[in-house]
Structure 1
């Protein structure tokens, strides 16, 4: 049996109108799609927007022990936005579907793995006659995954099952947005406004009256001095805040001095199974993470997992199947306050499901920490690999330590994502700090 892996790293339900993405955002999304190679096993079929260079593909498959010759790679014709993303028109192309059907013949596909199970994946599964291979197909067929990923729906579900959320509301009209923002700012707190569908903090803005407030979980802080400034801000930004399609706007109190943590689960028929926990590094938006989370106590960790499971079980009862990351913040006064759910493969899934469960020996699991960051400036992926090997820093399965390049080189920013696997945080951080001074050839 084999998997069908569809690398739809950006979808309309995840980020809104794809045509509104900047060229750099589309390029970054396409390079991010190549991370689906981490989830490949012998005999799988992968649908990709394009295929990364051999050095990257061979590197990933070498670490996971996957035979590249056993894989089938299918790339649809270029779409209306080019080749970077698997846009809906590319997945609907009849020639592509015929080639994919041929590639699947005799494979016995028992699982479809996607970045996100949207309507176009559902339609493709139906066309191929492999609906059974898409977990939670009935739920996804009716657009249910959007419910799990909606920051507005999240607040309703969390409140309904007694999970703590930040004070705030959901606004469908500018007038309600103005009054809610004014009320929170008026009591001396700051505000975070969130697009209903977005990820990584890129759909958020922080609103404040204090110029010393620093952003975390959003790109910037907007200073609003009075009611007139609030009204003008909402009028100017309303289309952006609602995704250009009249989505709902989430408005919450912003907690300074907090840490962002998560508990990711695999939601199955029998239960919601914990996959792992971690802490997201914000500078000011997500640039990496540490596993396990450092900024919470053991008691807070229990609360994170227990409340996260309640959230996932609520969605499980509705019919959702797949990964859910229940994201929260540890506030400055020690509370665990949940902020959203992400029902898809996340930027953390590979750390737990691949680096830990496939690449580490069983006796090392639970005995290693991971520090991942997307900040290493290098001239090329090949140069980064060679430099790690020359310095003796490359990941070693025998010791269960070293540096793994978890992402490909992204040409729009000249950086590569890496993960340091260490015996403790201090040694992992020391290795991460040393990378900045490592000589990397072109």
Structure 2
């Protein structure tokens, strides 16, 4: 039974304006799409922005036990933004559709797995007469995934489900933002402003009347000491904050020194099944994750799962099907406050569904800590594997421990992402530090 796997790792509803992405960001998105190889099984067909390097394909399939010769990769012609991301025009190219039908044997696939189920993906399913193969097709074909990935829509969903969120609101005009931010400032708080559609913290900014705030969950802090400074900021940044007046803006209280945690679910017609609980590493935006989450106690975990389960059930009733990550912060005073839902394959889904329970079999997975981080600088993917072997850090199938290279972005930014798998967090942290050499002795 063939699954059609689509590596649309950058879409407008994931990262905002695609045309605004730099060439390096587009190239990085293309390399992230290669991570879909982790989900492939014998006989599957993959649609990727460009062909995966043979050495990466061999490495991934060697760990998952997939026959690489049984896989078919179909690459559409370059689109309006080039060859690095699957823009909508690439997925509707007639020549590509003909080659894809041929790869599928002129039969609809048994299933369709996409990073994000936007209208181009539902259109592709329709062109292949494969609507039944795409989970939640009816919902997604009405742009439902945009509804549930909107950070503004999230606040309404969470409030309606009785799930705790940070104080704040959704605004559509600069004067509304001015008054909401001023009110939070007057209460002595800093503020997080969030673009309606973006990811990884890159669509966020922290605003404060005073300095000394360490950014977390956003690239920077903007100091605005008085109302005129705030008004000037909104005038200057409103175009960016609203994606050219196309989207709404979220304004909410910022909680310094919080831990970012999440619960990830797989939503089907019948239920929402928990697939993992983790903690995001922020420096100051997301650079990795550890799972299961290590720094929260049983009460905090229970609060996280209670709110996440309510969000997942609300999404199921709406008609969404697929993976959802319910993200939250564990604040210094104790409460768990939810911040967004990511209704798509996330940066950790491959760890939850493939590394945990498939590469590391179920008998051992419950006793393992998975610590994944981006940004190990290497001259090539092959050199990364050689260095792991030389250091004795490569993944060992016998012990079910070691380092797995999960993403290959050497041709984009000279780095790879690595997941250290160990029996405890301290050992996983030591593995990650050893990768980065003697100058990386600080916190992981």
Task: Give the 5 Å matches for 1:153-302.
Answer: 153-302=153-302
What is the CA–CA distance in structure 1 between the aligned matches of 2:149 and 2:414, rounded to whole Å? 30
Partner SS state of residue 408, structure 2: coil
* 1:153 to partner: Cα distance: 0.6
Secondary structure of the 1:346 match is coil
CA distance in 2, matches of 1:266, 1:134: 14
Q: Which residue of structure 2 lines up, in the alignment, with residue 122 of structure 1? A: 122
Partner of 1:409: 409
Task: Quote how far apart the aligned CAs of 1:295 are.
Answer: 2.2
Task: State the distance in 1 between where 2:210 and 2:410 align.
Answer: 36
Secondary structure of 1:408's aligned partner: strand
**Other structure's SS at 1:112 match:** strand
1:306-360 residue CA offsets vs partner (Å, 9 max, x unmatched)? 2101001001001110000000000011110000000000001011100012111
Report the Cα offset of residue 437 of structure 1: 2.0
Give the match for residue 427 of structure 1. 427
Deviation at 1:302, TM superposition (A): 1.2
For 1:287 and 1:370, the matched residues in 2 are separated by 14
Per-residue deviation at 1:108? 5.5
Partner SS, residue 363 of structure 1: helix
CA distance in 2, matches of 1:306, 1:360: 28
Distance 1:350 1:380 in 2: 22
Structure 2 gap ranges (5+)? 439-444
Deviates more, 1:429-438 or 1:248-257: 429-438
1:27 paired residue number: 27
Secondary structure of 1:175 counterpart: helix
1:158-191 alpha-carbon deviations (Å, 9 max, x no partner): 0111100000000011110111111111211100
Q: Deviation at 1:411?
A: 3.4
State the number of aligned residues. 439
Q: Secondary structure at the match of 1:260?
A: strand
CA positional deviation for 1:148: 1.1
The answer to whether the 8 Å contact 1:361/1:397 transfers is no
| TM-score, length-scaled by structure 1 | 0.97
Native 8 Å contact 1:157 1:314 kept in 2 = yes
Q: Deviations over 1:259-298 (max 9, x none)?
A: 0000000001111000101000000000001111122111
State the 1:426 CA deviation.
1.1
Alpha-carbon contact 1:17-1:244 (below 8 Å) kept: no
Q: Tell me, what secondary structure is at the counterpart of 1:30?
A: helix
Q: CA deviation at 1:15?
A: 1.6
Q: What residue is the counterpart of 1:68 in the other structure?
A: 68
Do the aligned partners of 2:101 and 2:107 also contact (CA within 8 Å) in 1?
no
Structure 1: 5+ residue stretches without partners: none
CA distance in 2, matches of 1:107, 1:95: 17
Pair 1:308-2:308 in alignment: yes
1:140 — aligned with what? Answer: 140
Tell me the SS of whatever aligns to 1:398.
coil
Give distance in 2, aligned partners of 1:25 and 1:214: 25
Q: Which runs of 4+ in 1 moved over 6 A?
A: none
Deviates more, 1:427-436 or 1:33-42: 427-436
